[in-house]
Structure 1
Amino acid sequence: MTDTPRSRPLRVLAAMSGGVDSAVAAARAAEAGHDVTGVHLALSANPQSFRTGARGCCTIEDSRDARRAADVIGIPFYVWDLADRFREDVVEDFVAEYEAGRTPNPCLRCNEKIKFAALLDKALALGFDAVCTGHYAKVLVREDGTRELHRASDMAKDQSYVLGVLDDRQLAHALFPLGDTLTTKDEIRAEAERRGLAVAKKPDSHDICFIADGDTQGFLARRLGKAEGDIVDESGARLGTHEGAYGFTIGQRKGLRIGVPAADGKPRYVLDISPVDNTVTVGPAASLDVSALTAIKPRWCGAAPDGPGTYTAQLRAHGGETEVSAHLVDGELRVTFTEPVRGVAPGQAIVLYDGTRVVGSATIATTVRATAGAA
C-alpha cells in the first residue's frame, strides 16, 4: 500500500482558503512536480473586508492572502464564486437542522457538497486530475488500485473526521499533501516562512466560518426569529423559559437561566430538544449517557461493511475514539457502545474507523440512553 500523490505528474486544482495550511499544501504539490492551479472559493455573497481575529474565513482579505501565496509559489490563481451553492447546501442546511432540534456539523457538509462535489465536478470538467486541500489526512492506494482514507500521521492534527463523508470517486481525486506530516503547527508555519509565504503567522480560523462573530445563537435567532418556550425537567415540571429551542445543544450546561436549583444542588444539562412543542428538557449529567444509537444516510469510504463488525468511532471533530459494534439494517446504521458515552446529539456525524482507516460516516438520528429509552 502506498501514499498518494501518484508517481506521474497530475493537473491539480489547489483549494486555497488564504490560510497557512492550504498554502503549504499547494506549495508541496507544486514542489512534487504536479501542474498546480490555485483557486479561492468565494462562499459569501457579501464577504467582510477583514476577519475578526481567528474567527471566520472567506473574506476579501483571505482572497488576497491566497492570491499572494499563489504568486510566491508561482502558480496560476483564480477566484470561483460558489456562494449560491454554499448558501443552499451548507448554510440553509445548518439552519434547517437546528430548527429541527438537531446539531449539524457544517464542515462535513462543506467537504461533501462543496469542496469534493461542486469544486471537484468543475475541476474534472476542466481537465484537472485532483483537488488538493490543506486537510490533515492520508489517502492510501492498495495493490488493486482502490483507495482508502486514513488518519493523518499526527493524531493531534488529524482531520479525517470531517472527511468521512467522501466516497470512492471523491477519494480517487483527492490530494492531501499535509497528511503524512509528523510536524507541529509551529513547524508548518516555519515551513511557510521559509517558502516566503506571508500567511505563515496568520491565525487559524476557528468556529463556524459563516458566523464570523462566533455567536451561533444570535445568527439562528436572526434567521428563525424568537419563539418562547418552556424549559422542563425529566418529570415535565416547568423550570423556566427560553427564546428558541434552536439555541440549545445536547449536553449544554451554561446559559440555561433556570431559577430553580436541582434538589441535589448539582448542575443541570440539556437532555433533549423538542422542536414540535418548543420544549427543552434538562436533567443531571448521568442522564446524558448513551448506550446505543441509530444513524442514517451512511456514506462509505470504500465498500459498505458486510455484516456486524467491531470498530472505533469518533463523534466530534476534536473528540476521542470509543469502541463500538455496528451493523447495517435496512440502510440504517445501528451502533452499540462498549461503554456509555456522554452528550451524543442527533444531527452529529458518527465516523467509524478500522485502525487508522476511515470506514465511513453517518448522521445520528436517534439515541438510546444508558438509563432510559430512546432519546
Structure 2
Amino acid sequence: MSGGVDSAVAAARAKEAGHEVTGIHLALSRNPKSYRSGARGCCTIEDANDARRAADVIGIPFYVWDLSDRFHTDVVEDFMDTYAAGQTPNPCLRCNEKIKFAAVLDKALALGFDAVATGHYASVVQGPAGVELHRAVDGAKDQSYVLGVLDEQQLRHSLFPLGDTPKTKVREEAAARGLLVADKPDSHDICFVADGDNTGWLREKLGDRAPNQGGEIVDEATGTVLGQHTGTYGFTIGQRKGLRLGHPAPDGRPRYVLDIEPVSGTVTVGPRERLAVERITGDRLRWCGAPLPAGTMLDGPDVTVQLRAHGAEHRAVVRVLDGQLDVELVEHAHGIAPGQAVVVYDGTRVVGSATITRADRVPVGAAG
C-alpha cells in the first residue's frame, strides 16, 4: 500500500473477494526527505500515514517494512550507475523486479502468505500453457510495461485487482468506500528524485563516479563544436530542450541528442530524422511465462514492442538469440537509448522483456 488510491482499492477488493489481507507499506528511505519532500504519491511520511488510514477504513492489519537498504542498492545505485555509463534507465522496472516482486514477495511467502497484490493496472490470467500477464482494460493507465520483468514464478504469486477497471471508476469506488485518498493525485516522475530534477539530483549524488565532469556538444554532420556541458548524465537520447547550443542549425530546425559518449564526454546532436531506429538488441532477458528457447522467432500482425512506459506500440519481428533479443522494427521508433527496456507483446499478452544494449539508427537518407 503506497498511500495512493490504486493500492487502497486493490486491498479493499482483495478483502472483499474473501482473501485474508494484510496491508504493507514499504519504507524505501531511512530519511524520506533525503529522496523527496511533500506528498508526491510515493516514499514520504505523508504517504505512509495515508496508507495506514486506508488500511483502518478497509479493516485490515497494517505494517511498514523497511527495505531502504535493498532499495538503495538495487534501484538507486543502479539508476546512478546506468546514467554514469551514458545510458537511460527505468527505475520503476528495476523496483518491480528487485523490490516489490522479489524482496517483498520472498518475505511474504516466507511468512506464509500466498501472493502479493498491488494497484498496478494489468491482468494475470490462466492461459492454455500457464499463467499469463496481459494489458489492463484502461489503455491510458496500463502498466504492463513496467511489469514486463516479472517471471513465471512471480506471476503465479501476483494479483492485480484493478486490471479490469478504468481509473475513473477506481476513484469513484474509493470515494464510495470512504477512502480519503480517492482524489489524491497520481505520483509522477521518479519517486526518489526531488521535484523531478534528474540532472540536479545526479550532479549532487554522482560526484566522482561520473566518468567526466564536462565535455563538448558536437554536430553529427559537420563535427562542429556547438557548446560545452558539465556532465553527460544531464542528457538522454532524443532530448531537445536544455541543450544551450551557441550555434543555430543552418536550416533553423531544432537539434536533438543522438549519442552520448561518457568516457570522452562528447554529446552528439543532429536533426530529428536521425533519431529513427530500425533495429534493437537487448540482453537481461526476462520471460513472463515459460522461457522461449534460442532460435524462436515471433512474427505476425499482433507481435509488437513497447519501448517506454507510456509509449506507442511498434510492429516488430522478434528473434530470440543466445542470451539476447534481436528486434527488427517494422515501424521505426525515435529516440531509443541503451538502458531502456524493450517489452514484447503478442496482442495484449506480455511475452517478456530485455534491456536495450544497442539501437541501430536508420541510415542517412533512408529515414521515414
Give the TM-score band, short-chain normalised.
over 0.9
Q: Is the 8 A contact 2:118 2:159 kept in 1?
A: yes
1:99 paired with 2:96, answer no
TM-score (normalizing by structure 1)? 0.92
CA distance in structure 1 between the partners assigned to 2:98 and 2:248 by the alignment: 44
1:293 paired with 2:275, answer no
Task: Tell me the residue number matched to 1:191.
Answer: 173
Equivalenced residues, count: 355
Task: Tell me the residue number matched to 1:153.
Answer: 137
Deviates more, 1:321-330 or 1:47-56: 47-56
Q: Is the 8 A contact 2:32 2:44 kept in 1?
A: yes
Structure 1 residue 304 displacement after superposition? 2.9
Structure 1 residues 320-335: aligned runs within 5 Å: 320-335=312-327
Task: Tell me the residue number matched to 1:205.
Answer: 187
Measured against aligned partners, the alpha-carbon deviations of 1:270-308 in whole angstroms (never above 9, x if no partner) come to 000001101100001111000101101110011233521
Task: Look up the SS of the partner of 1:104 in the other structure.
Answer: coil
CA distance in structure 2 between the partners assigned to 1:143 and 1:304 by the alignment: 15
Task: Tell me the residue number matched to 1:116.
Answer: 101
Aligned counterpart for 2:198 among listed residues 181, 206, 216: 216
Q: Is the 8 A contact 1:165 1:301 kept in 2?
A: yes
Structure 1 residue 56 displacement after superposition? 5.6
Deviates more, 1:334-343 or 1:112-121: 334-343
Measured against aligned partners, the alpha-carbon deviations of 1:321-354 in whole angstroms (never above 9, x if no partner) come to 0101111222110111112211111100000000
Q: Is the 8 A contact 2:36 2:195 kept in 1?
A: no
Q: Is the 8 A contact 1:56 1:210 kept in 2?
A: no
| Aligned-pair identity (%) | 68
Measured against aligned partners, the alpha-carbon deviations of 1:20-56 in whole angstroms (never above 9, x if no partner) come to 0000000000000000000000001211399766636
Structure 1 residues 297-316: aligned runs within 5 Å: 297-306=284-293, 307-310=296-299, 311-316=303-308
1:52–1:188: structure 2 CA closer, same or farther, 3 Å change rule?
farther
Amino acid at match of 2:356: I
Q: Is the 8 A contact 2:305 2:314 kept in 1?
A: yes
State the Cα RMSD in Å. Answer: 1.7
Task: Look up the SS of the partner of 1:35 in the other structure.
Answer: coil
Q: Is the 8 A contact 1:56 1:207 kept in 2?
A: no
Structure 1 residue 201 displacement after superposition? 1.4
Task: Tell me the residue number matched to 2:213.
Answer: 227
Task: Tell me the residue number matched to 1:262.
Answer: 249
Task: Tell me the residue number matched to 1:73.
Answer: 58
1:143–1:304: structure 2 CA closer, same or farther, 3 Å change rule?
closer
Structure 1 residues 1-375: aligned runs within 5 Å: 16-48=1-33, 55=40, 57-143=42-128, 146-181=130-165, 183=166, 185-225=167-207, 227-234=213-220, 235-306=222-293, 307-310=296-299, 311-371=303-363
Task: Tell me the residue number matched to 1:3.
Answer: none
Task: Look up the SS of the partner of 1:259 in the other structure.
Answer: coil
CA distance in structure 2 between the partners assigned to 1:300 and 1:236 by the alignment: 42
TM-score (normalizing by structure 2)? 0.93
CA distance in structure 2 between the partners assigned to 1:216 and 1:55 by the alignment: 16
1:51–1:202: structure 2 CA closer, same or farther, 3 Å change rule?
farther
CA distance in structure 2 between the partners assigned to 1:56 and 1:69 by the alignment: 14
Task: Look up the SS of the partner of 1:128 in the other structure.
Answer: coil
Q: Is the 8 A contact 1:49 1:60 kept in 2?
A: no
Measured against aligned partners, the alpha-carbon deviations of 1:1-37 in whole angstroms (never above 9, x if no partner) come to xxxxxxxxxxxxxxx0000000000000000000000
Amino acid at match of 1:297: R
Amino acid at match of 1:131: V
Task: Look up the SS of the partner of 1:36 in the other structure.
Answer: coil
CA distance in structure 2 between the partners assigned to 1:56 and 1:70 by the alignment: 16
Stretches (4+) displaced over 4 A: 49-54
1:326–1:172: structure 2 CA closer, same or farther, 3 Å change rule?
same
CA distance in structure 2 between the partners assigned to 1:51 and 1:164 by the alignment: 27
CA distance in structure 2 between the partners assigned to 1:355 and 1:241 by the alignment: 45
Unaligned runs of 5+ in 2: none
